[in-house]
Structure 1
Amino acid sequence: MPQQRFPKVEVLSIAPHAISFILSETDTSMANALRRIMIAEVPTIAIDLVEYAENSSVLNDEYIAHRLGLIPIRYTPEGSMKGGDCHQAFVPHRECLCYDRCARCSVEFELDVNFDKVNQTRPDQERDLPLTVTSRDLMSNNILVAPAHFLSEEEQDESHDEGISIVKLGPGQHLKLKAIARMGISKEHSKWCPVAVATYRFWPIITINEEACNMLTLEQKQELVEACPDRILALDEITNNLVAVENAYEMATFTEDLKMAQEAMKKRPEDEDFVSVVHSTDRFVFSVESTGAMDAEEILLSALRVLKDRLNYLAAEVEKLKD
């Protein structure tokens, strides 16, 4: 009977577009499963079908359709300000009972931008400039679903556009289309991927051998501090002893130089290390950044729900085999 584990999640920092947390009391298999689910199996909404009525821009239909598919589409539950899990509100297109498409399995966007018409309403100094068609020109038939124009308020303040650029139009050019967005997962296509970054690192265990360090001179201790490019060590201002810096877990990624510096200081090769850095096998530091389609917190919660469903399904199949 395997030992039962109770994994824990400790949030280090959280923002709408990013989250950092510690997953502990588990092993690499669970950490990697959670990471892969966040990348490939969390359902989101993305534009999947584009129907053109007019396209006289410099880009062909397929190029624009590809750009539209990569625009993050955000579902915001009624009464909430956060980008939520669309799985409760929509069903996959292939599982819907409708003949073609309906409000239960798809969202319809319309885009109609004519340079000549818009040009008449622009200031004189802007009338001859190209017109940038952005994600704000996509009009949704569902008030709960809209493009994520910017990742954060800071990005919005720094941007020179009104949203995600799609194409530029010049005099006489017109773009009119209808886009159908559907729910899916990035196992099918990367446009449904909710994360821009989803990585984890092993928690470093830094051990300082006080007895061995007492045999070092102050210059040698300083050499050890400077040997590691991540600067995970420092000298105590009072005792001049080596100490691990605060938040060293964020930086302890490359310690090979520290290992080589210690080997050069040892009197005998078999002597113990002055400082040892090993990776924990049951503690992992995750960093997750959203594309804007969902809040980072909701991506984690959705991934945990998917993982739970997968494990329940596996348990049920195993029970069938026993029968």
Structure 2
Amino acid sequence: MNLFPKVSIIMATYNRSHFIVEALKSIQIQTHTNWECLIIDDGSNDNTEEILEPILKEDNRFQYYKRPSTYKKGLPGSRNYGLGLGKGDYIIFFDDDDVVHPLCLEICLSVFNTVHDVSFCNYKKAAFFEKLDYDIIDRNKEYHFDITKDDLLENVVTQKIPFASCTVLWKKECFEKSVFNEDLMYAEEWECYQRILSNKFKGVVIDKVLYFNRKHANSNTGEFWKGDAVRVASKKKAMILVVSNLYKEQLLTPYLFKYLVNYAISFRDFKLVKNILNITNPKWYLKLFYKLKYYQFPVWVFYKVKIKK
């Protein structure tokens, strides 16, 4: 293994012995080979460690660590621990239940070599259920990319440009001032990445699928959409943090303000809406408008459904 690998891959894991080997095998066959993969165990009580033994002995680019108590339990704490360990010039986060395109690192790094003065590379992902059909993987090295524009932050916050935790290769310098909030158990990457992008880093968006995420009920996202109280509460907390940061940095445009307040209204949590209005302190008539909209939201949804019919 190179003393200073070019890419540090950080993979947090928790009780995923039935998925993690497939994820690691997809990393092992990357066409770009100068990487280290830091596997951070968040306290698994299944046979994860036993399952990993053969691949750890076979390939010393994989390194296994147990999250120490100095970092909080959860994805953010595990990833922050990995950030402190990583020796690469670039950082990327992969999940323990997904599959990485074999050209992922090669293509991203080729963009960095082509375009100067950019700090990250974003690419597309595709979802699959149960087992991935490997025949769908496009192994063609051709791709199209765009350099990000001034509206990037706005598009990431509103999720017009998806910035999932596993679809961005970052220069390590991006995390010098911003790491994951360890109090969040969902939407931690959304909150962290908007802080990074608030520093006006430029990047590249690749129009090619380079990552495959497995959909299943026990994922964090699956639990959120099922209404898990911890995940939903974390999303609300992340919203408050996002609004606070954008307002503090004078980056909360009227469009973002409207989007975030309407998003808060959709949670049917008046305290959340009120907190956002208190943080941003808009004109009195806007406060009144959004408070009224909160109470009229069920009627508005019913009317919208009727129009679609």
Q: Place the TM-score, normalised by the shorter chain, in its bin.
A: under 0.3
More strand by share: 1
Higher RCO (C-alpha 8 Å, min separation 6): 1
TM-score by length of 1: 0.17
Larger Rg: 1
TM-score by length of 2: 0.18
